């Protein structure tokens, strides 16, 4: 009888503890959201989205260049890193032998563990130094490296979930290995790959360190691929550590915009799981 | 009448190499076919004939190599990592294991239906049926429409799905899905169709429908069916091969195998004393 009561008590305590820790993991997210929103929402206005930064000392102005810059940097990074990641992932599961596959997997894991500042330095020495200029493309190059491991591992995990009988079903119809991979295997897993990829994209959108010596930041309007370009995380960094109160307020607004961008991407990625039943 | 010809044909000692004097045309045959998974040998030299426009059943206890055998017939066996084959498999005069053989062409001539229904989950019923055609580059709409209708009619599924061809293939019941897979195989116009325990995941009513279908397909196709179900083999096949531990113990007309087999082991298995 006593042991029964004791077991019940232990059970209650442990369940309570687990509940407590589950709550603890949600608190940071909620408090960051609340904090950024309350701080940022007051300084956000239409000017913030449409105007360039004003010279030091002059109040007002916005971060239009940084918003466009971030969108451009992230798009360019996606443009090269997503195809590379997906193709490498497909190759790994469908065509590579076990030894090559595990080498690629290990390399990707190491790459995803490399500090982002190191990737920035790498892109600096590989692109900025030879080109003698900070540039959009070197920033996109650095960001792409941060994205590849996520895309590759997501693709791998998703494709592994495709049952072997599906591949065999396609092959048995006389469909070539290549078309089976593209039209049957990839199309079956596409929603999962898109979800994982967009989460990765959301992550790189907020990266600051890789852009420090590549995109560098720019106070004026530029969409030139070979010149320095503004980016939200960089702008936030510069404004937040500045002594001007107006800049600090704008840093909060920038943070809010950045968080919203990431949030929208995550929501879109979740709803990308809708299926259609035809060849694309 | 029918039985007599089969009996005389089969009681003659099985020479195992196809002879032109055979009363029935041999569609496929294997010679000393061995299959391996890594170092494990799953088939120990199978010699077997498959007659044209007849259903050949392969029976035997689990793990005896039945599935491996038919997966060698369309070279699907090698798709498993580490798997390989030795010996010969012929389709008509074509040696399927020859180096320069076109795998895609073989698989078009030899269709396959799997144990579990495996419709392509992202495709509609329509696209499932014409996947083989579409993905080999056929774009002609009216040709595809006709192929889809024809194949679904032959698979006895047309009436049930004709109004929802753009629905997901996964929206069908298990039995319908399996007939969809049969329609899909028929659409590429094969000569031989391999069935790997096609009813083992189906309920009795669906099983009945699929069996009926297989029976009707014999007119135009050569059928090979692996089954665990002895009654099924007896009902739908003309010839039966009994496999045990990777060898073909006995092969003959189904009537003979089920009423008066030559080997004691075959009789033990069929009467349920073993396996």
Helices (H), A129-244: 129-131, 136-160, 164-171, 177-179, 187-205, 209-212, 232-240
Both structure tokens of A69: 């810059």
ipTM > 0.90 (yes/no):
no
Say what percent of chain A tops pLDDT 70.
96
Q: How far is A100 from chain B (nearest CA, A)?
A: 15
Query: How many Cα atoms within 13 Å fall on the side-chain side of residue A124?
Result: 13
Band (pLDDT 50/70/90 cuts) for residue B272 is confident
What residues of chain A lie within 8 A of the CB of B168, using their CB?
275, 277
Query: Closest Cα to residue A250, out of A263, A268, A264, A238?
Result: A238
Both structure tokens of B57: 């059943």
Q: How far apart are CA A213 and CA A204, in angstroms?
A: 16
More confident residue, B274 or A253: A253
For chain B, which domains are there? 2-270 (3.40.50.300)
What residues of chain A lie within 8 A of the CB of B148, using their CB?
none
The answer on pLDDT for B5 being more than 50 is no
**Sequence-ordered list of residues with C-beta below 8 angstroms from that of A138, at least 6 positions apart, any chain:** A123, A124, A127, A128, A131, A214, A215
Band (pLDDT 50/70/90 cuts) for residue B273 is confident
Q: Per residue in A182-237, pLDDT tens?
A: 999 998 898 889 888 988 998 899 999 999 999 988 888 888 889 999 999 999 99
Average pLDDT of every residue of chain B: 88
Q: How far is A182 from chain B (nearest CA, A)?
A: 10
Both structure tokens of A130: 């030879």
Query: Closest Cα to residue A237, out of A208, A204, A206?
Result: A208
B56 beta partners: B224, B239
The answer on pLDDT for B10 being more than 80 is no
The answer on pLDDT for B190 being more than 50 is yes
Query: Closest Cα to residue B63, out of B79, B42, B78, B34?
Result: B42
The answer on pLDDT for A180 being more than 90 is yes
* Nearest Cβ partner for B136 among A171, A172, A174: A174
Q: How far is B112 from chain A (nearest CA, A)?
A: 6
* Nearest Cβ partner for B79 among A168, A175, A179: A168
The answer on pLDDT for A246 being more than 90 is no
What does the DSSP assignment read for A159-182? HHTS-HHHHHHHHTTT--HHHIII
Compute the residue count for chain A.
280
Q: Per residue in B25-82, pLDDT tens?
A: 899 999 999 999 999 999 999 999 999 999 999 999 988 999 999 999 999 999 888 8
The answer on pLDDT for B239 being more than 60 is yes
Say how far residue A169 (Cα) sits from the centre of its chain.
Answer: 35
User: What is the rounded average pLDDT of the residues B102-106?
Assistant: 91
The answer to whether the CB of A165 falls within 8 A of the CB of B76 is no
**Sequence-ordered list of residues with C-beta below 8 angstroms from that of A63, at least 6 positions apart, any chain:** A48, A49, A53, A230, A232, A235, A250, A253, A254, A257
| Least reliable range by pLDDT among A89-98, A264-273, B156-165, B249-258 | A264-273
Q: How far apart are CA A108 and CA A149, in angstroms?
A: 5
Report pLDDT for B27: 93
Whether residue A165 lies within 8 A of chain B, CB to CB, comes out as yes
The answer on pLDDT for A55 being more than 90 is no
| Least reliable range by pLDDT among A44-58, A226-240, B185-199 | A44-58
> Which of A165, A174, A180 to mutate: most B Cβ within 10 Å?
A174
Among residues 76-105 of chain B, which lie with CB inside 8 Å of chain A? 76, 79, 81, 104-105
Band (pLDDT 50/70/90 cuts) for residue A116 is very high
Report pLDDT for B54: 93
CB contact under 8 A, A277 and B79: no
The answer on pLDDT for A91 being more than 50 is yes
Band (pLDDT 50/70/90 cuts) for residue B14 is very low
CB contact under 8 A, A173 and B167: no
Q: How far is A1 from chain B (nearest CA, A)?
A: 49
Both structure tokens of B266: 């075959």
From the number of C-beta atoms within 10 Å of its C-beta (0-12, 13-18, 19+), residue B186 rates as buried
The conformational region for residue A217 under phi > 0 = left, psi -120 to 50 = alpha, else beta, is left
Whether residue B167 lies within 8 A of chain A, CB to CB, comes out as yes
Whether residue A238 lies within 8 A of chain B, CB to CB, comes out as no
Q: How far apart are CA B174 and CA B210, in angstroms?
A: 11
More confident residue, B248 or B23: B248
């Amino acid at each position: 009888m006593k042991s029964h009561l004791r077991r019940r008590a232990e059970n209650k305590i442990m369940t309570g503890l687990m509940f407590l820790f589950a709550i603890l993991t949600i608190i940071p997210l909620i408090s960051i959201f609340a904090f950024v929103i309350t701080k940022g929402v007051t300084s956000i206005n239409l000017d913030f989205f449409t105007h360039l930064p004003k010279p030091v000392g002059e109040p007002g102005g916005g971060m239009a260049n940084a918003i466009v810059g971030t969108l451009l940097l992230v798009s360019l990074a996606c443009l090269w890193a997503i195809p590379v990641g997906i193709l490498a992932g497909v190759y790994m599961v469908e065509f590579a032998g076990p030894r090559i596959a595990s080498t690629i997997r290990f390399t990707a894991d190491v790459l995803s563990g490399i500090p982002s500042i190191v990737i920035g330095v790498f892109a600096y020495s590989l692109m900025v130094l030879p080109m003698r200029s900070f540039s959009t493309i070197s920033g996109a190059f650095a960001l792409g490296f941060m994205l590849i491991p996520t895309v590759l591992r997501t693709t791998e995990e998703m494709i592994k979930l495709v049952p072997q009988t599906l591949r065999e079903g396609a092959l048995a119809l006389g469909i070539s290995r290549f078309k089976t991979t593209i039209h049957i295997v990839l199309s079956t897993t596409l929603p999962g790959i898109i979800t994982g990829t967009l989460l990765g994209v959301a992550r790189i959108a907020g990266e600051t360190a890789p852009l420090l010596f590549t995109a560098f930041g720019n106070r004026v309007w530029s969409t030139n691929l070979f010149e320095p370009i503004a980016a939200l995380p960089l702008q936030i960094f510069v404004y937040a550590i500045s002594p001007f109160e107006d800049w600090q307020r704008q840093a909060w607004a920038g943070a809010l915009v950045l968080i919203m961008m990431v949030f929208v991407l995550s929501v879109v990625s979740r709803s990308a799981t809708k299926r259609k039943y035809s060849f694309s | 009448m029918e039985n007599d010809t089969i009996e005389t044909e089969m009681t003659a000692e099985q020479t195992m190499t196809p002879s032109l004097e055979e009363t029935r045309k041999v569609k496929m045959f294997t010679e000393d076919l061995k299959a391996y998974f890594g170092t494990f040998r799953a088939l120990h030299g199978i010699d077997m004939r498959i007659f044209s426009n007849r259903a050949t059943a392969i029976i035997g206890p689990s793990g005896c190599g039945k599935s491996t055998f038919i997966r060698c017939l369309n070279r699907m066996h090698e798709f498993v990592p580490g798997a390989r084959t030795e010996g010969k498999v012929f389709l008509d005069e074509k040696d399927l294991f020859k180096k320069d053989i076109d795998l895609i062409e073989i698989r078009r001539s030899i269709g396959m239906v799997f144990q579990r229904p495996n419709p392509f989950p992202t495709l509609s019923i329509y696209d499932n049926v014409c996947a083989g055609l579409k993905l080999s580059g056929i774009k002609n709409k009216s040709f595809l429409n006709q192929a889809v209708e024809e194949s679904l009619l032959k698979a006895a599924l047309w009436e049930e799905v004709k109004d929802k061809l753009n629905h997901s293939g996964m929206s069908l019941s298990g039995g319908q899905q399996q007939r969809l897979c049969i329609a899909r195989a028929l659409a590429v116009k094969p000569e031989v169709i391999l069935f790997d325990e096609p009813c083992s995941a189906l309920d009795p009513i669906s099983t009945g429908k699929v069996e009926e279908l297989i029976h009707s397909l014999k007119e135009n196709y050569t059928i090979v069916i692996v089954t665990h179900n002895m009654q099924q083999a007896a009902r739908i096949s003309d010839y039966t091969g009994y496999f045990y531990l990777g060898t073909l113990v006995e092969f003959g007309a189904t009537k003979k195998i089920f009423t008066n087999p030559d080997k004691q082991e075959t009789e033990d298995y069929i009467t349920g004393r073993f396996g």
